[in-house]
């Protein structure tokens, strides 16, 4: 395998000094030799319709190490693969996913908007996507709803033949991650965050590394998935995460080779991208 989930031993945030942070920065530098996993964002979504089996199959063809897909609950409790809360953008028909039975969602065309060659691509279920993950590959399951999706997820994982070590649950909602770690403690989970500048041009961004570390600790996450902003994430930022006992991080959504190399050098365990073949090539010696 080209990647690993490093667990770094860090000092507690109460006792970290400037010297301690410097030591953690050195540890981070030494860990950079490991190539990060390449995760296909909603599948190979630059070339195929996002969150479809066609996009996930193409991701494997493009040598992705992992896929990432978005999941919601239909009105009748099916876990379906779709990013938006409704179907307007990808299907041209506006149905609210949470208010629509699965059969109605399944009848829509999720591929034609991308290209005529993808006409007829249906909305896949989580069960179907799980079945399309080859042995030795990883699957980032992004939960787009609140904690109500966790029990149906747990029930499904009990039914299907899946290696739980091949899964990473991700979500922006802290309470959803906390529920996952309580009900599915054996499955790795990352809390997700974007960044926002406090005032345009100020150079001050939220959340801070300390806030991220506190959130990861509070919800019991195994790490964090961060928006890949080079103006925010640097050696000092990563060192501060390590100082706060954040063992691992991945970044999204990275489509430029220079950005991928930058975050790989910082020690990201994964690079999420719409273009897995391009990013794979850029990181291969």
Does 249 fall in a domain?
Answer: yes
Q: Give SS3 for 90.
A: helix
Ramachandran area for residue 109 (φ above 0: left; ψ -120 to 50: alpha; else beta): beta
Q: Is 275 exposed, middle or buried (0-12, 13-18, 19+ CB in 10 A)?
A: buried
pLDDT digits (tens, 9 = 90+) for 237-254: 999 999 999 999 999 999
Residue at token pair 């926002």: 196
pLDDT digits (tens, 9 = 90+) for 174-221: 999 999 999 999 999 999 999 999 999 999 999 999 999 999 999 999
- Contact between 106 and 114 under an 8 Å Cβ cutoff? The reply is no
Interior/surface letters 166-201, b for 16+ CB within 10 angstroms, e for the rest? bbbbbbebbebbbbbbeebeebbbbbbbebeeeeee
pLDDT digits (tens, 9 = 90+) for 93-129: 999 999 999 999 999 999 999 999 999 999 999 999 9
Residue 143 lies in domain: 18-48+59-68+139-283
Does the global pTM surpass 0.75?
yes
- At 285, the pLDDT band (50, 70, 90 cuts) reads confident
- CA 278 from chain centre, in angstroms, equals 19
The pLDDT of residue 5: 41
Does 1 fall in a domain?
Answer: no
Q: Residue 218 corresponds to which tokens in the numbers above? A: 């509070």
Does 12 fall in a domain?
Answer: no
Q: How many domains does the chain have?
A: 1
Does 144 fall in a domain?
Answer: yes
The pLDDT of residue 196: 98
Domain of residue 157, CATH code: 3.20.20.190
Neighbours of 30 (CB within 10 A): 10
Q: Is 161 exposed, middle or buried (0-12, 13-18, 19+ CB in 10 A)?
A: exposed
pLDDT digits (tens, 9 = 90+) for 151-160: 999 999 999 9
> Which one has a higher pLDDT value, 4 or 216?
216
pLDDT digits (tens, 9 = 90+) for 43-89: 999 999 999 999 999 999 999 999 999 999 999 999 999 999 999 99
The pLDDT of residue 136: 96
The pLDDT of residue 6: 37
Does 108 fall in a domain?
Answer: no
- Contact between 238 and 267 under an 8 Å Cβ cutoff? The reply is yes
Residue at token pair 């953008």: 89
- At 31, the pLDDT band (50, 70, 90 cuts) reads very low
Q: Which residues are catalytic?
A: 41, 83
Does 173 fall in a domain?
Answer: yes
């Amino acid at each position: 395998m080209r990647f690993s989930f490093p667990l770094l031993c860090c000092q507690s945030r109460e006792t970290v000094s400037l010297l301690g942070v410097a030591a953690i920065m050195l540890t981070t530098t030494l860990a950079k030799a490991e190539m990060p996993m390449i995760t296909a964002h909603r599948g190979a979504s630059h070339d195929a319709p996002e969150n479809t089996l066609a996009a996930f199959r193409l991701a494997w063809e493009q040598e992705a190490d992992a896929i990432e897909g978005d999941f919601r609950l239909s009105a009748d409790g099916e876990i379906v693969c779709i990013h938006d809360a409704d179907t307007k953008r990808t299907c041209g028909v506006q149905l609210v996913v949470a208010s629509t039975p699965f059969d109605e969602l399944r009848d829509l065309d999720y591929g034609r908007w991308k290209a005529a060659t993808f006409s007829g691509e249906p909305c896949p279920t989580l069960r179907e996507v799980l079945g399309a993950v080859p042995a030795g590959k990883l699957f980032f399951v992004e939960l787009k709803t609140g904690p109500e999706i966790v029990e149906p997820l747990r029930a499904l994982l009990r039914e299907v033949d899946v290696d739980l070590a091949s899964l990473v649950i991700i979500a922006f909602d802290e309470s959803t991650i906390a529920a996952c770690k309580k009900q599915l403690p054996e499955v790795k989970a990352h809390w997700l965050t974007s960044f926002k500048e406090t005032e345009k041009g100020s150079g001050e961004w939220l959340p801070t590394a300390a806030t991220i570390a506190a959130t990861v600790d509070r919800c019991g996450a195994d790490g964090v998935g961060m928006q890949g902003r080079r103006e925010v994430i640097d050696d000092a930022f990563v060192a501060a995460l390590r100082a706060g006992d954040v063992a691992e991080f991945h970044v999204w959504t990275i489509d430029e080779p220079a950005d991928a190399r930058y975050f790989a050098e910082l020690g990201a365990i994964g690079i999420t991208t719409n273009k897995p073949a391009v990013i794979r090539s850029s990181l291969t010696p």
